[in-house]
Structures are given as C-alpha cells and as structure tokens.
Structure 1
Amino acid sequence: MSDQPMERLADRVILLWGWRQALVALLAGAVLALGQAPFDFFAVGFISFTLIVWLLDGVGTAPGKGWMRAAFPAFAVGWWFGFGYFLAGLFWVGNALLVEAEDFAWALPLAVIVLPAGLAIFYGLATLAARLVWSDGLGRIAALALAFGAAEWVRATVLSGFPWNAIGYVAMPIPLLMQSVTLTGLFGMSALSVLVFAMPGLLANRRHLTAGIAIALLLVAAHIGFGAWRLTQDVAPSGETLSVRIIQPSINQGEKWDGAARDRIFSALIELSALPPAEGAAAPQLIIWPETSFPFLLTDRPDALVALSELLQEGQLLAAGAVRVEGAASEGGVRYYNSILMINDQGEIVDGYDKVHLVPFGEYLPLQDWLSRFGLRQLVQAFPGFTPGTHRRPLDGGQGARLLPFICYEIIFPGENGSDVETNLLINVTNDAWFGDTPGPYQHFRQAQIRAVMLGLPMVRAANNGISGVVDARGRIVDAFRMDAVGALDAQIQLADPSARAWTAVRWGQPMIFFALGLLIVATGSIPRRRAN
C-alpha cells in the first residue's frame, strides 16, 4: 500500500469486488446526476469518473475464462454506473404516469427502473470497450473518453434515440461554458468532458500524471477562453426585428382534455394573448402558444377560429401547438399529428409543421399489435396514436422571420438541426406539465438553451407551465418565466442572419476528436501493451 493518501484511496477502490464494487459504481453514477440542471454542480464529474477509472483498474482479465465471463465485470461497472446516473437523473419521468394514475400507475416501475436499466446498457458497453485497450497510464483515460463519447452517439441513435442528459451537458452549466459545443458537437463535448473529469484517476500510480494534468488544464483553459471570446462577438443580425409574445398558461395536465374545462382553458389563452403591451412597447407581431394548447380539435370547433380572428390585430400571426387531424374513417383511416399551426388575423391556417420525432410510448406505441396484447398503451389517451411528419420545414413567422420549429423533446437531438434550410429564429413549443416541478423541465430548458448555441440562432420557447423564455444565439437568457407562472412574456427579437449561422463541427469536428483520442491511446502504449499480454 502507498503512503500517499490519494494512492491509498485508489488502492481501496481498486480492490473492491462483488456488491461493494457495484455499490460504488451505482453511487458514482447517482452523484454525477448533480452535474445536470437544475443543480449544475459540475465538479462531481471529477469524483464520478475518477472512481470509474479505479474500479476498472480493479477488473481483472480473468485468464483461462471464456470471453463473455472475462468481459462481464467491465460491463457490470459501467452498467451499475449508468443505472445510478439515469435512476437519479430521470426519476421524474414517472411523474407522467401519475397524471392518470388509475390507468398508468402500474407502469411506474417501467419508467423509474426499467428505463434507467435499459439506458445503462450503453454505459456498460462503453466501459467494456475501454477495458479492452486498458493500460496503467494516460491511454486508459483516453480510452474511457472515446468509449463514452461513442456511447452517447449510439444512445442518441438506436431505437429512435434518447440523448437526454448527455455527459457533455455537465461541462456546460452557463453560457460561458456552452460556446465550445460549436466546435466539438455534443458527443465530442461528452468525450472531452470524460477525458478531463477522469484525469485524477492518474493519481493511482502517477504514470503520465504530469502530461495528464497539462492536457486537462489546456482543455479547460481553451474551453473557458473560447467561451469568453465568443461572448464578446456580436451575433450577425439580419436587420429585421420581430415583436414576440409568449403565452404560458400553466394548465393542469389532468384538466387538459376534460370536456368541462375546455372552454375555460381556451378563454384563458385568449385573455393572456389580448393583454395590452407594456407602456411604450410595440404590439406583438407573433404570438406563441405552447404544445397542444388547443384543448380540442379545431375541426370540431370552427368557432375557435372565429374567436382568433377577433383576437388577432391586422398583421398579427399566432403560432399555436395543436393536434391536427387528417383523413376520414371512410377513406381508410384518420391520422393525428402533433403540430404547430400558423393562424393569421382572418382566422385562417396559413402554414404548419407536423412533429417529426415522436415520443415512444407517449405519442405512439412501438410494436403496437404485439405490445397491446400485454395491456400496454400509449400515455396520451385522447388520441389513438400520432403520425410523424415527413420532414422539418421552416415556418413563415411574418416580418421576414423564418422559424425553425421543434416540438417538445425534438430540441434535444443534435442531428436534427435543420441545416439544409435558411432560418433566422428557433421556436420550441412544449408541454412539461406532465412532469411537475421536478428536475425534468429544467433539464429540458437547458438542452434547448444549448441547442440555440449549436445552431447559432435566437430561440423563443413557449411551455405550458415552464420554462418559457427567450434565449439569444449565445445561450444567454434574455427573459423567462419561472415554473408554474401564468402570463404573457413580450420580447423584441433581433433576427439572425441566416448566412451567418454558427459553424459547427458536427460533420467533421467530432470525428477529429475521436481520432485524436485514438492516437492518444496508441501513443501512450495501451494497444501494444495489451498485445504483449
């Protein structure tokens, strides 16, 4: 045993096995969840990933055993780590099942336990892959970073993807620290975050410690320096401005589709939209309502469009989340879409966008014919399953505004960036009332905030009960409502120049980071050392 305190601690962790090893991995993951919004305690990353390095140091290669038996301990460390992380970071998902508890409370373990257990598989595969090229120096840190960056990419892709709370977000709690994502992409940021967070793992035997500290300090300095520089750079304006009003009605989710409450809900939206602007402020040119804000189908209530024509002043537009229906039973079936509808001052629907990336089990039931036999149903019961839109398309917001639309959690997918269309304002509508005042809505807002940075566009966000707000193209919050607030938020938006949208490294920056990490693994002797064994 070493005389150095950190080395003694490392030795204790390395020698753990069985349930003690699993417990430490579980706790390391749970602690890492404190690095996400609303806690933003990013320093926990150094604790969590240092422990993972030492736990993997203690995983033997099990000579003479089959490949699967030899691989399982490394996989188990990552799985327990991921299970703790997603259990602590996503427990609030179960709140959605309590909105209609009489129908869905039985499924609470599926959301709170099974979902984290399934997501943890990606982290288990990451630690397994890293352990295959493990060493006793810097190479193992690079291997862990590369494996976790790749795991986050796979997690965002497989089975429609779910990149919620990617590790890279831990390193981006404030706008100063968000700017680097335009160079690294989200998955490159996740890999570099693990690289830095895991560097204290070198204290176990101090091999490559000086080089590791130098690399970590260089990356942190570059991260902060680039952020400080970019925040001083003006966003290229298009020369156009848009007066926007965001409506946050905070409708109780249990009342949303209650027939007795529908007129009251619609009246509340109308009243908030009709409030006079502040003294000296311009009347809004665009009013934004949250996701599925209409508590009925517009085809069933033509009087609603008449009421909107009376509400909207000349030249005003309403962008409203709504359920859109298409087709008829006599024509082969009715299709429902989760949409944003653009309605003009004549009460006419002049444009629209249908949600492309639907929520599995929420808006549709995967493998419906099979799973329905076991009593599983989609969470949104007011409609028999939504149909996805065909592609993301810009919306005409008037006054030169070209809106890039995202409905609900579509905003968290880095690959769905609308880079093939010219837009100058990002619009996100959502309904987070399903999750109450839990970390979920704060995490959702943070990820939307960072997406504005990645796309180089200002963002307007209308949420049913929070968090609604305006974010500039650098991720700075211009104005926002708190959770459960009721009101109308007015803002003057400087539209971005579409030709000057943020340069991102999604296409080649992330591969370059992964390639560099691979070179670091080779340069520090991990692969040759593995072959020598």
Structure 2
Amino acid sequence: MPPNRWLNALVLLLAGGLQTLTLSPFNWWWLAPVSIVLILWICLPLPPRQLFRAGWLFGLGLFGSGVSWVYISISEHGNTSIPIAVVLTFLFVAGLALFHGLAFWAWGHLARDSSVRRLILFPAIWVLGDWLRSWLLTGFPWMYLGTGQVDGPLAGFAPIVGVYGLTFWIVATGAAAWAAYQLIRNKRQAAAGLIVAVMILPWLSGPFVSRVDWTELADQPLKVAAMQGNIPQQIKWDPEFLRQQVRTYLDLTQDDWHRDIILWPETAIPLTQDQAGPIIEMIREELGPDSTLITGIPWFGFSERVGDTTFHNSIMAIGNGEGIYHKQKLVPFGEYVPLQQWLRGLIGFFDLPMSDFSRGPENQSPLTAGIHRVMPFICYEVAYPDFVSSYAARTDLLITISNDGWFGDSIGPVQHLQMARMRALETGRYMLRGTNNGITAIIDERGQLTEAIPRFTDATLRGEVYTTSGATPVMLSGSWPTLVLAAILIVFVRERTIPKS
C-alpha cells in the first residue's frame, strides 16, 4: 500500500465497523454513505494489485465487528477451548472478508486506472459481490447495507427494488458524494449540483413512496399466539430435560388453545416426528376446532432427494391445518458439517447436537392453517431475499421460527430480527416470528413491530395478524433487475473511453 499504509489500513477497518453501526441494534443508517466515502478516499488511488488487500481489510472490519458473535456458539456451546474458539472465529471472519477482497480486486481490473470509471462501477461491483456471497458455499446473506434502511428514508423502495437495490443506491450515494466533492474542487459547481440533486432525490422521495400500498390486507385479522420458552441451550438436547421442555410449551399455551394460529419455535419438540406421536396427539386433543398449532420439530425418514433415511430440520402444522416443511438453507457446522469425514471428532464444535441434517427439497408447498396458506422459514432462511420473496408470492402469511440461543446476549439475534423485518417490508406481508429466547414478534406489512416479547424471558405473545393478497414488484421480479443493471453497467462502462480523472 502507499507510504501511509498503516493509516490506510486503520481507515478501512473503521469503514467496515461503521457499516455494522448502520444495522441493529444501533440503526445509524446515515453512516452508510460515510463509510463508502472513506473506502473511496483510500482505494481510488490504489493500483489494482493492491485493491484485494484493501477490500480484505475492509471486510475484516465489517465482519469482525458485525458477526464475531459466532464465538459464543463455538466457545460456550461447542465445547471448544477459548484459544481454539478465538482462532476459529478469526478464520470465519477472515474467510468472509475474502468476498470483499475479490470484489475490490475485480473492481480494479475492470475499471483499470480511471477514477471516473471506478466511481461509476463501484456500486455495481459491490452489489454483485453481495449477491455472490448469498449463494456461494450455501451463502451468508448477512450485513447488507440495505437492511439498515428498514427504518431509514429509503424503506419505501424496498418493495420495489429489494435489499440489493437499496444497497446499490446507498453505495452510489457515497460514490456520488465523492464525485461532487472532486468537481467542486475543480470549480465545476454546476455539475456537482446536478449530481447532488440526483443523489438525494430517492432519499427525499422515499417517505412519500412508502405510503403506496402494494398489497391488500384482509378485512378480519387472525388471532395468534407465539410461545417463547427460553430453554437454556445447554439442556436443549439432553434427554433428562425432554419432559420439562415439552411441559414448558404446554403450560405457556394453556390459555391459548382456541387461537387461530399458535406458534412454537424451532425444534420446540426435541424429538423426531416418529417419536413424538403421543405429544402430537395430546396437542390435537387440546386444540380448538378452528385452531392450528405450528411447531418446529426434527423429522426422520426416507428422503427421495437423499435416497436414504435422513434427518431434516422441519416445521409442521397440527390441528385445523396440515403440512410439513423441511428446511432448505442449512447453517454450515450448525446443521451440517462440510467435509465431515475429516472434521468430525477433531474438536467439540464439529460434533454439535443435531448437526447432521439434510437439505429439504425445492418447491415445497406452504403449510395451511384453516383456509389460509402459510409459508414458514426456519431460522437462517429468512436472511435470503429472493428465497423468501419467491415463496411469499404463493402465500397469505409469513412465519419464521428460530433458536437464537446459540448466540447468547450478542447483537446477532437483533440483526436476525431486522432481516425478518426487511423480508416483511419487501413482500408486503405480515410475519409471525417465534423464537426460543427472543425476539418473538409480530411484524406488519411495512416491516414494523406491532408486538414483541423481551429477550431471555419465558412468555406468550398474543396479538393479531392480517392475511394478505397481491404482490410487490420485487416479488414478481426478484433481485434480477438490480443485478442485470449492475452487469450492464459493467459491460457498458468498461467499453467506453473515459478520462482518468
């Protein structure tokens, strides 16, 4: 790097940390363009060969501050010593930072030595890098800049362009701010003013766009209840505490068997469905005639996709509803172990309870609750924008269940809730969220919380949700318009003759 390489490295790490502050629980969304300006300040003069290291340093600051909560699951729940947990957490963070390193490297090679071309291409490269991270090696769609806008002025555009479109414009805003600054320095105030006007237009118009109703709510609400058992992770899979766990959820549901929809969280029943027959029958007997209980439960049986008997992390409807859904987006090391023939047995973290699930089949049918179609998402799945929007188009109501007890009193579960809110906003649908230890909540069609239970309490959430008809633009097109725009921009700008400055 240039002579001030230590200062440059510090600024890039800081820029990454600022982006964590744009997300929950901080919600300082206005820091996002500031972070982009800091990145451009350091990176615009760098030759392509140095941009990989710059991008990696930025990613280290972003993921080191934003997702290092995985240390809790590795150390406290993975039976791993502190030194090994620290090393594994660093490897995880450093590995994720490679995505930004590769994106910055590609940016430098595509834009070559033209600062103008670099400014134009930066938003396109950024959003394509985020998209790549969402599916490569099962994906990690966390820490997207656009997610912070669920409470920001661009929220109104989320149903139109989705989180990738919001991210594109945030990065473009930072690039435009830097371009305007350089134009003013070169006494080109008119051009700078035009860029600033275009840059701020969506930020000013967003609150007005948010008033548009893309979907239509039903006239009558459904009465719902969600139980938060706050079961300690240390006893979750201990057979000695099985009866206690089931009794906890039965007691929490005691006054709510008549509700339209009752929700228990991920693996609330810590037995496979073929072993939990007596519990399921007991639930059926307690339920009202028009009530449906939806619960997380492991599933064991023959899978056509696997060609053998296997485990699935699943959710099923009981009572006045039917269906079972098998989770498709599995968490590496938490629900399956890559290269398990070499890794299992090395350390406790590679032998977590229930870490041998198989991925569920594609194009599964939604659950039903009475006459209503309900699409469930299990834990990590709600982080995937296109995955949620494609399934939401077939359903009236969204449900997500999770067990964020793996991450203790960290910012991870709060970030998880914010992503669920963004999915509700993108799809214009109510979402009922049930978790083991928080945050259990009802999210309306605009991504706002209507009811919530504090973390680390055993309690029952009661409220109303509305089923929804219609579709938002992003449900019909997914993220493809933004991604295609980014690709076209790269091809067009790269072939044009553009001055260096």
Same-fold call, TM cutoff 0.5: yes
* Shift in CA distance, 217/441, structure 1 to aligned 2, threshold 3 Å: farther
**Which range moved further: 30-39 or 300-309?**
300-309
TM-score by length of 1: 0.84
Which residue of structure 1 lines up, in the alignment, with residue 374 of structure 2?
A: 403
Query: Residue 401 of structure 2 contacts residue 435 of structure 2 at CA under 8 Å; is this kept in 1?
Result: yes
The amino acid of 1:31's aligned partner reads L
Equivalent position of 1:57 in the other structure: 44
Could you tell me which residue of structure 2 aligns to residue 25 of structure 1? 12
Structure 2, unaligned runs of 5 or more: none
Amino acid at match of 1:289: W
SS at match of 1:489: strand
> Structure 1 87/236 Cα, relative in aligned 2: closer, same or farther at 3 Å?
same
Q: Rate the CA distance shift 1:186–1:204 in 2: closer, same or farther, 3 A.
A: same
Partners of 2:112 and 2:33 in 1: CA distance: 19
Aligned partner (choices 391, 404, 407) of residue 435 of structure 1: 407
| Aligned-partner residue type, residue 194 of structure 1 | V
Question: CA 1:275/1:49 → structure 2, altered by over 3 Å: closer, same or farther?
Answer: same
1:252-291 counterparts in 2 under 5 A?
Answer: 252-275=232-255, 283-291=258-266
2:142 pairs with 1:164 = yes
Q: Is the 8 A contact 1:250 1:484 kept in 2?
A: yes
Equivalent position to 1:144, from 104, 118, 122: 122
- Partner residue, 1:250: 230
Give the match for residue 290 of structure 2.
315
Contact 1:97 1:379 in 2 (8 A): no
What is the deviation of 1:145? 1.3
Over 3 Å counting, the alpha-carbon distance change for 1:106 and 1:209 in structure 2 is farther
Partner of residue 210 from structure 2, selected from 230, 235, 251: 230
Q: Cα gap change, 1:469/1:109 in structure 2, threshold over 3 Å: closer, same or farther? A: same
The 2-side partners of 1:326 and 1:276 are apart by 32
Q: 1:216 to 1:110 in 2, by over 3 A?
A: farther
Identity %: 27
Specify the alignment match of 1:8 in structure 2.
none
CA distance in 1, matches of 2:248, 2:165: 44
Q: What whole-Å deviation, never above 9, does each CA across 1:74-117 have from its counterpart, x for those lacking one?
A: 11111101111110001111111233353465642354211121
Cα deviation digits, residues 98-142 of structure 1 (max 9, x gap): 333534656423542111211111211222233331566654322
Alignment counterpart, residue 72 of structure 1, candidates 45, 49, 57: 49
SS of the residue aligned with 1:445? helix
- Give the Cα–Cα distance (whole angstroms) in 2 for the partners of residues 528 and 199 of structure 1: 17
Find the counterpart in structure 2 of residue 305 from structure 1. 280
Deviates more, 1:501-510 or 1:260-269: 501-510
What is the rounded CA distance, in whole Å, between the counterparts of 1:272 and 1:220 in structure 2? 49
Which residue of 2 is the match for residue 389 of structure 1?
Answer: 360
Distance in 2 between residues matched to 1:32 and 1:16, nearest whole Å: 26
Structure 1 residue 218: deviation in Å? 3.2
Distance 1:16 1:476, change over 3 A: farther
| Selected match of 2:89 from 109, 112, 118 | 112
- AA aligned to 1:501 is A
Does the 8 Å CA contact 1:245/1:288 hold for their aligned counterparts? yes
Report the Cα distance in structure 2 between the residues aligned to 1:373 and 1:294, rounded to whole angstroms.
27
SS of 1:529's equivalent in the other structure is: coil
1:463-502 residue pairs with structure 2 within 5 A? 463-497=435-469, 500-502=470-472
| Contact residue 78 and residue 120 of structure 1 kept, 8 A | yes
Whether the aligned pair in 2 keeps the contact of 1:168 and 1:186 (CA below 8 Å) is: yes
| Aligned residues of 1:240 and 1:399 also touching (Cα < 8 A) | no
- Structure 1 residues 379, 435: closer, same or farther in 2, change over 3 A? farther
Deviates more, 1:237-246 or 1:81-90: 237-246
**Which runs of 5 or more structure 1 residues have no equivalent in the other structure?**
1-13, 62-70, 278-282
d(CA) in 1 for partners of 2:309 and 2:215?
45
Specify the SS of the correspondent of 1:196: helix
Q: Name the SS of the counterpart of 2:262 in structure 1.
A: strand
| Displacement after TM superposition at 1:436 (Å) | 1.3
Deviates more, 1:255-264 or 1:298-307: 298-307
Matching residue's letter, 1:97? I
How far residue 417 of structure 1 moved from its aligned partner, in angstroms, is: 2.9
The whole-number CA distance in structure 2 between the counterparts of 1:460 and 1:475 is 11
For 2:196 and 2:24, the matched residues in 1 are separated by 24
Q: Pick closer, same or farther for the CA change 1:246–1:228 going to 2, 3 Å.
A: farther
Q: 1:300 to 1:123 in 2, by over 3 A?
A: same
Question: Which deviations, in whole Å up to 9, do the C-alpha atoms of 1:131-173 show, x marking residues without a partner?
Answer: 3315666543222211111111111121111110112223x04
Counterpart position of 1:448: 420
Q: Secondary structure at the match of 1:474?
A: coil
The answer to whether the Cα contact below 8 Å between 1:290 and 1:321 also exists between their aligned partners in 2 is yes
* Preserved CA contact (<8 Å) 2:335 2:357: yes
The total of aligned residue pairs comes to: 492
Shift of 1:416: 0.8
| Contact 2:327 2:378 (8 Å CA) reproduced | yes
Amino acid at match of 2:380: Y
Q: Which moved further from structure 2: 86-95 or 290-299?
A: 290-299
